[in-house]
Structure 1
């Protein structure tokens, strides 16, 4: 019985690991542009549905909204979803380096400030140790 429980837990862990969000986006949405580490995709669905689909597939470490855009932070990437001209959504994925490391997303709050804890982190530390 114990072996079945362990195997079941291992199967759930493996199922939840999946490919990085960048790979999933590339397999799911239409690539519109690529510039270095930044890729832009198109979804025919509105922002809310597109974000729900992404989050259902891969839970972000932090999530925020600002000015009609949704921001999802993952271990290595920031995903931004906004309305596309003419309908649908534009999905941009970029590496955590660059704008993120220089505080470009700090205005979004916890989980988006470089060194800040991810949403739901209960360690109590700021992550900004010197």
Structure 2
């Protein structure tokens, strides 16, 4: 079998790379996953609240297994997940289950509303900053 020329190999590889890029670019974001998985309870501006019949830990595990957050923190019985464009807060629902609030990162995040959660939640802080919580941290 004759050896392929460099240009022939490029001609074969280029379409494959384009397909791979298209597939990864078409992937949904965490907002889409939550909207497709949980029941919408209400909308307020750019924030949406969903309900889950599962407890907080199970709900958070499902969300995190779909897409890992840039930062994660547990505080006061709630779990906070920071993504590139959204803050996801999972807390207990009255009567059981959990509430999932998805907020655009431009809202309270940019004004420092989540700064008390520490590195990764301060406006402009890197996800893996000093002492950051890019992994599961102290979230349970």
Where does structure 1 lack aligned partners over 5 or more consecutive residues? 123-130
- Distance across 1 between alignment mates of 2:67 and 2:107: 23
Q: Give matches, 1:38-77, under 5 Å.
A: 38-77=47-86
1:35, CA displacement in angstroms?
Answer: 1.1
CA 57–74 in structure 1, closer or farther in 2 if over 3 Å, else same: same
* TM-score (structure 2 length as normaliser): 0.74
The DSSP-based 3-state class of the residue aligned with 1:52 is helix
Q: Are positions 1:110 and 2:119 aligned together?
A: yes
1:15, CA displacement in angstroms?
Answer: 6.0
1:85 maps to which of 80, 91, 94:
94
CA 16–58 in structure 1, closer or farther in 2 if over 3 Å, else same: farther
- Distance across 2 between alignment mates of 1:68 and 1:103: 20
* TM-score (structure 1 length as normaliser): 0.80
1:65, CA displacement in angstroms?
Answer: 0.8
Structure 1 runs of 4+ off > 2 angstroms?
A: 14-18
2:44 maps to which of 35, 38, 47:
35
1:68, CA displacement in angstroms?
Answer: 0.2
Where does structure 2 lack aligned partners over 5 or more consecutive residues? 1-11, 131-140
- Distance across 2 between alignment mates of 1:48 and 1:31: 19
Aligned-residue RMSD, C-alpha = 2.5
